[in-house]
Amino acid sequence: MKNKKGYLLLESVISLFIVITISLSLYSLMLFCSKYKVSVEDKVELHEQGEEMCYQINKTIENSDEIMSVRDLNGNTITGDTPSYVKVNSIKCKYKNTYRNEKDREISYKNNHKLFINTLNSRGNSEAGGYEIGDYINFISVMINKNKVSVKLSLSKNNQKYETYFKSYIKDF
C-alpha cells in the first residue's frame, strides 16, 4: 500500500492556484467588457447628440433671413463675415421681416455645456425659457461667408470626444 497523505496539501495548493487564476482572469475580462460597454454607449450618445444639434442649428439658420451677429467667448459682438472659425457663445438669427411677424432667435451656448435655442425680445435680448437642443458641448465655432455659415461642434463625455462640421445656407429670396 502507498501512503497518499503527503499529496493532499500539494494538490489543494495547485487547485487553489488554478481557481484563483481563472477567477482573476474572468474578473479582468468582465471589468474590460464593462468599461468597453460604457465607452461605446458614450460614443453613441455623443453621436446622437451631435446629429440632433446639427439638425436643430441647421434648421434655425436656414429658416432665418440673415445672421444678425455672433458673440465670441470674450463677449465681443461680431457682425458680417468672419475670415476663419470663431468660438462663440451666441448666434443671433433674424426672423422678423415684412412678410412674417416672428421673433428673432438665438442659438446660445451656456457654461454648463448645454446648447439652447431662445427667442429674442424687441431689444435683442434672450427671453426667459427657450429649449435645450444638446448637452456635452465643449465649444461651438462658426465661420460666416455671405449666406454660407460653417459650424463646428465639439462634444465630450467622460473620456470620449466627438467633433462634427456642417454648412448651413441662408436662402436668399
Residue 71 included in any domain: yes
DSSP string, 72-107: ETTS-EE-S--SS-EEEEEEEEE---SS--PPPEEE
Residue 111 lies in a domain: yes
pTM recorded for the entire structure:
0.81
The angle formed by the CA atoms of residues 101, 116 and 88, to the nearest 5 degrees, is 100
In a domain, 13, yes or no: no
What is residue 40's predicted lDDT score, i.e. its pLDDT? Answer: 94
Whole-angstrom distance, CA of residue 95 vs CA of residue 101 = 8
Residue 29 lies in a domain: no
Please tell me the predicted confidence (pLDDT) of residue 45: 93
- Residue 21 maps to a domain: no
Q: Residue length, the chain? A: 173
Task: Give the number of domains in the chain.
Answer: 1
**Helix, strand, coil fractions of the chain, as percent rounded to 5:** 30, 40, 30
**pLDDT at position 8:** 80
* Predicted local confidence at residue 10, as pLDDT: 81
Strands (E), 38-159: 66-72, 77-78, 86-94, 105-110, 114-119, 131-135, 137-145, 148-157
Looking at residue 7, its pLDDT comes to 67
Q: Is residue 85 part of a domain?
A: yes
Is residue 156 in a domain? yes
Q: What per-residue confidence (pLDDT) applies to 146?
A: 84
Per-residue pLDDT for the chain (173 aa), expressed as one digit of tens each? 555 555 688 888 999 999 999 999 999 999 999 999 999 999 999 999 999 999 999 999 998 888 888 998 888 888 888 889 999 999 999 887 777 788 889 999 988 889 999 988 888 788 877 888 888 999 999 999 888 999 999 999 998 999 999 999 987 75
134 is in which domain, residue-wise?
40-169
Based on the number of CB atoms within 10 Å of its own CB, is 30 exposed (0-12), middle (13-18) or buried (19 or more)?
exposed
Cell of 35: 468599461
Q: Is residue 8 part of a domain?
A: no
CB atoms within 10 A of CB 156: 15
